Amino acid sequence: MRQSRILLIVNTIILSVFAVISFFPIYMVVINSLKSQDEIFNNVLALPSKLHFENYTEAFSQVNLLQVTMNSVIVTSVGVIGIVIVGSLAAYKLARTPGKISNILFLMFMSSMLIPFHSIMITLTQAAKAIGLQGSTFGLGFIYIGLGINMAIFLCHGFVKTIPKELEESAKIDGAGEIQTFIKIIFPLLLPILMTIAILNILWIWNDFLLPLLMLTDVNKYTLILSVNMLFGEYVNDWPKILASLIMTTVPIVVFFVFFQRYILEGIAEGAMKG
């Protein structure tokens, strides 16, 4: 008992130290977002002598937060909904249609996960421009579907293989078609892993910078991350506004992650480890 108590104390101390190290950058961003530019340059570690909440109001208007937030919501919604629907349908069909063709297609999807984005971004930009997807928030969402569907298929494929085929056979006897069987039986059973897929892709798409930078040309269609980047000047940076805008940008997704993080671990454990 004494050794267990000592071990618990040591673990608590170690975890507390790592927690402080992890939260220190957040602390720095928060306190400096409430300072003036001169105070930041004088002592970046000191507490603000006066709380400058006007940094947030000015950053809110300069970034055009409402408009760019709506743009990010559109892009994220189109991408995540498409990935969930198309990925689950493709995984169901591949898992329930055994054969060489299915194995080859599944291998192709899995192999695409190994291709770095930087090696295809020029070709992807040219293809998006040729078919009219460049410069559109909805077009950007469709591109995310193509880039994120491989992981969705990988996670759903193993999950589908654990669902008893007798459920589908019973539905077929009752006169249900393949699509109807998927919607009423398979899709509800896939909800745990689909929730994980949705959360992971929301975090990815919401915080992505490079792809929106390549695809969006109109400032009014910029996402949150791109709009914050506009605050960085060529010679001078207004750090109070930049830090304030970063906080306003990250708070929604951090709150979202805190409430739904358990679904990530549960879904990956149930999906990727099965089959």
Contacts of 46 (CB under 8 A, 6+ apart): 39
Asked if residue 35 has pLDDT above 80, the reply is yes
pLDDT in tens, 120-161: 888 999 999 999 888 899 999 999 999 999 999 998 888 888
pLDDT in tens, 13-22: 998 999 888 8
Sign of CA dihedral 194, 198, 204, 209: positive
Residue 147 and residue 247: Cα distance in Å, rounded? 28
Asked if residue 268 has pLDDT above 70, the reply is no
> Measured in Å, how far apart are the chain's first and last C-alpha atoms?
41
Domain positions in the chain are 2-42, 67-271
Contacts of 213 (CB under 8 A, 6+ apart): 226, 229
- pTM for the complete prediction? 0.82
pLDDT band at 266 (very low <50, low <70, confident <90, very high): low
Architecture of the 67-271 domain = Orthogonal Bundle (1.10)
Residue 23 and residue 16: Cα distance in Å, rounded? 11
Residue 274 and residue 95: Cα distance in Å, rounded? 13
DSSP 234: S
pLDDT in tens, 185-207: 888 888 888 888 898 899 899 98
Q: Is 109 exposed, middle or buried (0-12, 13-18, 19+ CB in 10 A)?
A: buried
Mean model confidence pLDDT for the chain = 86
> From the CB of residue 95, how many other CB atoms can be counted at a distance below 10 Å?
21
